[in-house]
Amino acid sequence: MSSASAAAAIVPLKTMLVVDPDRKVNRVLDRLVTDEGWDLQHAPDNQAALSALEARPFDLIITGQKTSGREDLELLRKIRRIRPHVRMIILTDESTPGDIIASLREKAFSYFGAPFYPPLLSNMVHLAMTLPSWDDGIEVVSATPNWIRLLATCTRGTADRLVQFLRESDLPDAEKEDVAAAFHELLLNAMEHGGNFAPDQYVEIGYLRTSRAVACRIKDPGKGFSFEELRHAAISNAPGDLFSHMAVREEQGRRPGGYGLLLADKLVDDVIYGEHGNDVILIKYLDPSVPTTLREGT
């Protein structure tokens, strides 16, 4: 056996414990396990999952949809006492904004309420099984269902996790996807240009929900910018010109792209920058004809 083969042979398999999965979850996980060679185990319920965790460590726990978000959070708290760094993705048919905030506080890796989109779950499972460090990536500074403040490390994995938590908000579906996409673009810009995608750098994030609007604030640790400096971004192109910034990006050795700010500007109603450019607020107004119920407390 070659030295490379011998080294591969002693690398331990990543282990995943899945609680009472349905057919859709099984299809997602079977494909991932086949592609990645992970060790997949099943448990019939949360109590059996806890017993399995007491007997041996697992890299990732995925809960069953039949339990509520609150029940799965209680499982996570119990697991933390015996396996402090295990990663958990919560799947649930029953969820509240308070449950989602609690999952952030308890450092769940991710959260999916029904119905979920299989490719998003697949991506999140892959992240959970491959990211080298994660459990200090999101810190809750303060939170109610209508006003949340976070600190987040400047990594792509953290950005993807935050966007999934945002997708679980109680916004109407159309507005939710627009806000999530705009937030993702602005967050990646902040992490890349303000934090250099450095895991020891943090962005400050705020989420404010009223009965008629939602606002997201992102403040990065960089020195900021002026729009006169953004010749490499599509938002600086002349009206009707979508591509002149590409030549600038090529000259500067930047990756293809530069459409993030323009996309965000089209998806939400207002994008407001602070004086130094490292602080931005996006605002999306909600359809007044859609009834809205705000929930107090967590």
Residue 5: predicted pLDDT? 47
Q: How confident is the model at residue 230 (pLDDT cuts 50, 70, 90)?
A: low
CATH T-level fold of 136-298: Heat Shock Protein 90 (3.30.565)
**Pairing state between β 202-209 and 147-153:** antiparallel
pLDDT (average), residues 86-99: 93
pLDDT, tens only, 4-59: 444 445 556 899 999 998 888 999 998 888 888 899 999 999 999 999 999 999 99
pLDDT band at 248 (very low <50, low <70, confident <90, very high): very low
d(CA 240, CA 228): 19
Q: Would you state the structure tokens that stand for residue 278, as one six-digit string?
A: 């490292």
pLDDT the model gives residue 8 = 46
pLDDT band at 290 (very low <50, low <70, confident <90, very high): low
pLDDT at 223 over 90: no
| pLDDT reported for residue 12 | 66
| Cα 84 to Cα 16, 53, 90, 105, 285, distances in angstroms | 16, 11, 16, 14, 40
**If pLDDT is split at 50, 70 and 90, which confidence band does 146 have?**
very high
CATH topology of domain 1-135: Rossmann fold (3.40.50)
Which percentage of the chain shows pLDDT scores above 70? 80
For residue 4, the model assigns a pLDDT of: 45
Domain definitions of the chain by residue range: 1-135, 136-298
Radius of gyration of the chain (CA): 21
Q: Is the pLDDT of residue 226 over 90?
A: no
User: Given this model, what pLDDT does residue 239 score?
Assistant: 59
Mean pLDDT of all residues in the chain?
A: 85
Give one word for 20, left, alpha or beta, with left for phi > 0 and alpha for psi -120 to 50.
left
Query: In which band, very low, low, confident or very high, does the pLDDT at 224 lie, cut at 50, 70 and 90?
Result: confident
Residue 195 to residue 190: CA distance in whole angstroms: 7
Produce one character per residue of 132-154: b if its CB has 16 or more CB atoms within 10 Å, e if not. Answer: eebeebbeeeebebbebebebbb
* Selection from 45-49, 168-172, 254-258 with the highest mean pLDDT: 45-49
